[in-house]
Amino acid sequence: MAFIGFEFLIFFLIVLALYWLLPNPGWQNFLLFASSLIFYGWLASWHGAILFASILVDFLLALGMARWRNRSVFLMWLGIILNLALLISVKYFAYYNETLAAWSMQAGFAGDVFLTTILLPLGTSFYTLKKISYLVEVQRGTLRPQPDFIAFGAYAAFFPQVFSGPIERPQAFLRQLQEKRAWAADHFYNAWPLTLMGLFKKIVIANTVKVLVDQIFLMKEPSKVFLIVGGLGFTLQILADFSSYTDLSRGIAFLLGLKTAENFNTPYLALTPNDFWNRWHISFSSWLRDYIFFPVRRILLRVKHLPGIFSQIIPPLLTMFISGVWHGTGSTFILWGVYYGILIIIYQTLGIRGEAKSFKRFFLWLAMFAFIVFGWMIFRAGSLSWLWNALMAPFSRASNDLIAAFVLLVMISFYASLLFSKHLLDVYAPKKISLHALYYALAAGMTIVFMNSSSPDFIYFQF
């Protein structure tokens, strides 16, 4: 079930109405858990069954960790391995999908290789990371294991986040699930701008720019000018697309009286690669930082006689490699991850920290923006050979190339300006209510105009 659709609207209105009619947090959590399983298993009920089973296993492992402290490390690793095995099997090995489908048919569910291949990986990437962070925090003793299975299930399977994040940390969210929640007008006032912006970014910007970007990346032999325009277009598309999903997810959570994590903070204004990852997909990058980067660095620092350079190079490289692998199965994703690892190392080695002012700051931003765009070119390319050919191609192949590239660039710039003008409003006129109201009204009007013209899938669904 996609967020943008009549089916989801009906589903959510029913859940919302029931949710606020229920008398206590226990029942509300039960509704959240049950509706999340329905949402996830909408097309194939056994997907919901897999999610339920994996949640149950992690719940029991966490309780086991608290009970047998001397075996908590073993239990944590068991949980991590099981989660990763599920993630890797559904994401990387097609034959596992066939086996899973066959098992599900034997178990009486409607098994389907197609659904497994396409749909099961959607979301698995997100909820496994949530559950791993829960297991690690419980093992570290920074979080008490949740004794209420329903509350834990509502956290792990929370439907606004199950397909595309944010990767919510357990501490804050589980605390909210234990508290009494009553309807307040503020829930709505917090939700509507996020929901509106989510729809606007997805329907008006991302879906429209996607058509242009797809066309460029479909070319067999693009000239360099098209690669540049396509890269710029995709830079806009992926931000609008992914952040729209986060906005919708947060808006829906607010309507349920729950505050969830922010995921973006003007990432394209970053001055360094570290800065970029602190602003882009924040919930994922902070997950990587806390559960991969720091632990690896700590381990390397503890190794005696190991040259210091290793503890400088290996953590960012490994972290970004894992980030690439997590994002997709192709070699382009791995290269994209390694590319960021190398960038981080270079910036660190050169001591560039993004603390410059005025003129130098502008050049730092420009360089980083160019690196980001190039990164997205790697990410979006169909294959490494395609990317290589495009990079080696002449700047333009035909006389029309420059005109066509200019036309596409103008179109992309127009849609970028819609997003940029919101940023200018937020920064330079945060208190001008009427200007904001006008922007939102025009955004709502444009959303109506652009509705029902493109496919409703989100880019980050495939992760």
Partner 1 sequence: MNSRQNFLRFLTAFGVVLLASGILLPRRYNFNYPATLGPVFDARVKGEHLQGIQQSRPSFVLLGDSTLYEGVDPALFAEGLGMPVYEMATPGSGTAAWYLQIKNIILESSHRPKYVVVFFRNTMLTVPQYRTTGRYFALLDDYATKNEPLVSELAFVNPMNPVERFAEQYLPLYTARVEIRDDLDNAIRYLPPRLFGCNRDCANEAVSSIFGREVDPVALNLAQEDAAKTLYAQEELDFQAQLETSLLPHMIALTQKNNVNLIFVRTRIFGPEPEMSAYRNSLDAYLTGQDGVFLLDFWQDPRILEEYYVDSLHMNALGKKEFTKILIEEFKAILLK
Nearest approach, Cβ of residue 395 and partner 1 (Å):
15
Nearest approach, Cβ of residue 407 and partner 1 (Å):
6
Q: Is residue 191 within 8 Å of residue 249, measured between CB atoms? A: no
Would you give the distance in Å from CA 16 to the centre of its chain?
24
CA distance 145 to 134: 8
The residue type found at 144 is R
State both tokens at 9.
């609207």
Secondary structure of residue 207 in the 3-state scheme: helix
Please, which residue, 149 or 192, has the CB nearer to partner 1?
192
Nearest approach, Cβ of residue 34 and partner 1 (Å):
20
Residues that bind partner 1 (CB under 8 A): 6, 9, 43, 110-115, 117-118, 185-186, 188-190, 192-193, 214-221, 226, 382-383, 386, 398, 400-401, 403-404, 406-408, 410-411, 414, 431, 433-434, 436-438, 440-442, 444-445, 448-455, 457
CA distance 257 to 154: 14
State both tokens at 61.
């492992």
- Tokens 């009486």 belong to 108
Please, which residue, 9 or 84, has the CB nearer to partner 1?
9
Nearest approach, Cβ of residue 396 and partner 1 (Å):
11
CA distance 265 to 281: 9
- Interacting residues of 182 by C-beta distance below 8 A, sequence separation 6+: 257
Please, which residue, 43 or 342, has the CB nearer to partner 1?
43
Nearest approach, Cβ of residue 55 and partner 1 (Å):
25
State both tokens at 259.
């505050």
Nearest approach, Cβ of residue 349 and partner 1 (Å):
36
Please, which residue, 355 or 426, has the CB nearer to partner 1?
426
Nearest approach, Cβ of residue 233 and partner 1 (Å):
13
Q: Tell me the HSE value of 306 on the side-chain side, using a 13 A CA sphere.
A: 15
Nearest approach, Cβ of residue 237 and partner 1 (Å):
15
DSSP 292: I
Please, which residue, 132 or 216, has the CB nearer to partner 1?
216
Please, which residue, 124 or 286, has the CB nearer to partner 1?
124
Cα-Cα-Cα-Cα dihedral sign, residues 90, 31, 250, 452: positive
CA distance 38 to 17: 17
Residue (of 370, 161, 187, 387) closest to 261 by Cα position: 161
Nearest approach, Cβ of residue 278 and partner 1 (Å):
27
Residue (of 154, 151, 93, 80) closest to 120 by Cα position: 93
Please, which residue, 225 or 364, has the CB nearer to partner 1?
225
Q: Identify the H or E element spanning 320.
A: helix 308-327
Q: Is residue 171 within 8 Å of residue 259, measured between CB atoms? A: no
Nearest approach, Cβ of residue 434 and partner 1 (Å):
6
State both tokens at 233.
């277009």
Please, which residue, 151 or 191, has the CB nearer to partner 1?
191
Please, which residue, 6 or 359, has the CB nearer to partner 1?
6
Nearest approach, Cβ of residue 206 and partner 1 (Å):
15
Q: Is residue 420 within 8 Å of residue 269, measured between CB atoms? A: no
Please, which residue, 75 or 204, has the CB nearer to partner 1?
204
DSSP 141: T
- Tokens 């790697």 belong to 378
Residue (of 247, 258, 269, 132) closest to 192 by Cα position: 247
Residue (of 241, 153, 154) closest to 205 by Cα position: 241
Secondary structure of residue 335 in the 3-state scheme: helix
Nearest approach, Cβ of residue 213 and partner 1 (Å):
11
Please, which residue, 299 or 438, has the CB nearer to partner 1?
438
DSSP 395: S
Please, which residue, 271 or 390, has the CB nearer to partner 1?
390
